[in-house]
Chain A
Amino acid sequence: MQTLNTTPGGFLKKNRYTLIVLLILACVAAWMLQERYLSMILDYICIYTIAVTGLDILFGYTGQVSFGQAGFYAIGAYTSTLLSINLGIPPILSILLGAALALLFGILIAFPASRLVKHFLSLLTIAFGQMVYTYIVGAAWLTRGPSGITGIPKVSLFGYTFKGYQSYFWLVLVAVVLVLLMKRNIINSRVGRAFIAVRENPHAAAGMGINVAKYKIMAFGISAFLAGLAGAFYAHMVGFISPDTFTSTQSNMFMTMLLFGGIATISGSLIGAAIITVITELLQSFASAQTLVYAGFILVVLFFLPNGVVGMWDKARAMFLKKRLGKKEVAS
């Protein structure tokens, strides 16, 4: 929560660790951008960050769990793809339309969901994800079924086409920055405080005059919009989509990324997405044992990193500061 501090004064000094980390990150990203393969990893990290940020607003801030984000991800991807291929809508617009349709579905699903407690919410969202998946497999007249859709057009903006992974990175980077800014502004606004109130104690929130259902629906809508946006970006990056991408494994991965990075923090979704994406790539060397290692990894996170990487970082910094403070006291 300390990142929510908004006082501008003494900013550089106060945040020098964050700044150093960001600088290192930028250097790493810069180095990665020289290789197409590594740029692709960066692109994936950005896309996942968008989806995980949505989940964080829903789960981290509002306390509403969802194991069906892959459903919204799929709606965004398929809507944008079909609009751009069948109706010739420019991808930059169809991406937004895809996200908008996901938003609509998010609100639809949120009406019943806002009344359910955690377990049933989990199940409802799992069922929703499964419904979307079985629909895109079944509705071959629309989605070409399990064969998938090829030849998805690339994104163009002002006559410039984002064709390769390197150039696409700039597009998704801008999206990520906008999304993170949006998240920050929402969290610091009245809406964000209402979200947190709903998470902490829905009854108390209702007692204070907060319309609990409204904020739950709003959180669902935002998370669906962002998942849809990520899905649409994914479709136009790879140029091919098929139902295999949109299974519950994907939903679980978003949740793992969020928990790993740390919930209810600004940077947690980015850190989680980055680390899990890199780890799954590194796991390739375990061949058929990679799922085993991945599952073991989730358990380790659950048991030893309950607050995610960000939580660990904050804890370490707090300990460091305390130590230094202690030394000063001794010296004086």
Chain B
Amino acid sequence: MKKVLTLLLTLCMVLSLAACGGKDSGSSAPADSGTSAPADTGSEDSGDSGEAAPSGDTIKIGLYATITGPNALAGEMAEKGARLAIKEVNEAGGVNGQMLELVVYDDKSTPEGAVRAVTRMVDVDQVAAMVGSNSSPNIVAASQITEDAGVLQIGCGTSPSYTNAGYQYIFRGTANANLPNAAFVDAMTQMGVSKVAILSIASENGVSGVNSTKELMPSSMEIVCEEQYQPTDTDFTGQIAKVIASGADGVILYGTTSDSALAIKQLRSNGYTGYIYGPEALGVPDIINVGGEAAENVIFGSGAIIPASIDDAANDVEKAMLTAFVEEYGEMPVSDVVYRGYDSAKLIAIALQNASDMSDPDAVREAVLGITDHEGIAGTYNFSDGSGDGLSTARAYIVSGGKNVLFSDWLADNPQ
């Protein structure tokens, strides 16, 4: 007992000395000092980054994404997109003459990993702003940290959850999932679907996506079957048998890219020949590559898609970005997440450029709100309404003849 007590006393003494020292230096006064509002600590922290910025030659921009784990591909795409955007900004002279530097961390596809990565970026790297993960729950987990520190975060996740949470410094650099959902639900209405079967992944993305889709559905549509699968599942025979047996005339497939490709193949091989509807996950090139013929008649809503070749790009911004991407990495991107990373990083650069004081969170927020007509790849961003979302439209596409075709064009050629 004596031994332990001695040890404890020593430990406590040294620690308490240190704690006092810590508070004196005030580098990041513990938020527990009681009544201090989040904004107070915020200005203090960003004050630090404000001091750090002029001393260094570069402005640090953070990025955290699912670099490892089941969604490694998407994380890699977000990183590559952001890198390209930062490179372009620097080649064009940087932000107010200062170069940007991208700091990348892996959130390991877990909220815990996101919290660690974001804390590190805010406190250690003292980034001026950051590109948020492509995984929405990870943004939700980490958003309080950037909010308290007053660091601008532009997320790559599509779930409405994090922009609906009422945060001040969090925006979205892609389409809110409600938009693609509305686009494909609209296509379903035009196709005259009346009985719907829903097959979705048991993850945040699937759950929130299905909820938003249900709210958007007109009352004329009846849900006859609703099935879920786990992210680790490989065989969907049971669920698909139920979907087919339900006699639905339209199937909504809400998942991530890799499992969607699998589900489409299995739906087809089990004899489903009708149309399959879904969000932007169905719009990546892999669906056509992996699904082959099975991917025909897949209709999806998306802000922007990866075209079959650079020449098929929807607009000039997209064409320029894809040309640069191929030049940089030697191949076409494989997922639209690359656009999210690119748009988010570009938006950050614009906001920092326009902000009256880069180190003042409110000035940066004002600068983001002041972005009203930025031509991004996913569309024209306008943040002036303060909702955190910059895009207001998404379009529906259909896979026809091994290519993604605009649904409205296709419908004109193939009247139902």
List the interface of chain A (C-beta within 8 A of B).
6, 8, 11-12, 15, 18-19, 22-23, 25-27, 29-31, 33-37, 40, 44, 134, 137-138, 140, 145-148, 150, 160-167, 170, 173, 177, 181, 184, 234, 238-242, 244-245, 281, 284, 287-288, 290-291
Contact = CB atoms under 8 A, between A and B. Distances in A.
Interface in B62-78: 67-68, 72, 76
B30 A166 contact: yes
A245 B111 contact: yes
B32 A164 contact: yes
A144 to B, nearest CB: 9
B230 A287 contact: no
Contact of B137 (A19, A147, A184): A147
A31 B18 contact: yes
Given A26-B11, A242-B141, A281-B116, A34 B202 contact: no
B112 interface: yes
A256 B32 CA distance: 34
B3 A245 contact: no
A283 to B, nearest CB: 9
Most buried by B among A6, A12, A40, A242: A242
Contacts of A138: 202
A167 B32 contact: yes
B30 A164 contact: yes
B380 interface: no
Given A239-B144, A245-B111, A290 B137 contact: no
A321 B22 CA distance: 39
A238 B30 contact: no
B21 interface: yes
Contacts of A134: 230
B112 to A, nearest CB: 5
A36 B123 contact: yes
B246 interface: no
B123 A35 contact: yes
B111 to A, nearest CB: 5
Contacts of B15: 26, 29-30, 33, 173
Contact of B202 (A137, A173, A284): A137
B7 A22 contact: yes
Given A11-B3, A36-B28, A40-B116, 17 more contacts: A18-B7, A22-B10, A26-B11, A26-B15, A27-B18, A36-B119, A44-B116, A145-B207, A147-B161, A148-B137, A148-B140, A150-B141, A164-B30, A167-B32, A244-B110, A244-B137, A281-B116
Interface in B1-59: 2-4, 6-8, 10-11, 14-15, 17-19, 21-22, 25, 27-28, 30-32, 34
Given A19-B7, A23-B10, A34 B18 contact: yes
Given A31-B18, A36-B119, A241 B31 contact: no
Interface of B: 2-4, 6-8, 10-11, 14-15, 17-19, 21-22, 25, 27-28, 30-32, 34, 67-68, 72, 76, 104-106, 109-112, 115-117, 119-120, 122-124, 137, 140-141, 144, 161, 165, 202-204, 206-208, 230
Given A30-B19, A167-B30, A184-B4, A287 B111 contact: no
A26 B15 CA distance: 6
A284 B106 contact: yes
A245 B30 CA distance: 26
A284 B118 CA distance: 12
Contact of B111 (A36, A145, A244): A244
Contacts of B34: 161
A148 B204 contact: yes
A6 B15 CA distance: 26
A240 to B, nearest CB: 4
B68 A290 contact: yes
Contacts of A19: 7, 10
Nearest to A14: B3
Contacts of A29: 14-15, 18
Contacts of B137: 146-148, 242, 244
Contact of A22 (B11, B19, B72): B11
B111 A148 contact: yes
24 contacts: A19-B7, A19-B10, A27-B14, A29-B15, A30-B21, A33-B18, A37-B120, A37-B122, A40-B115, A138-B202, A140-B207, A146-B202, A147-B161, A147-B208, A164-B30, A164-B31, A166-B19, A239-B144, A242-B111, A244-B109, A244-B137, A284-B106, A288-B76, A291-B68
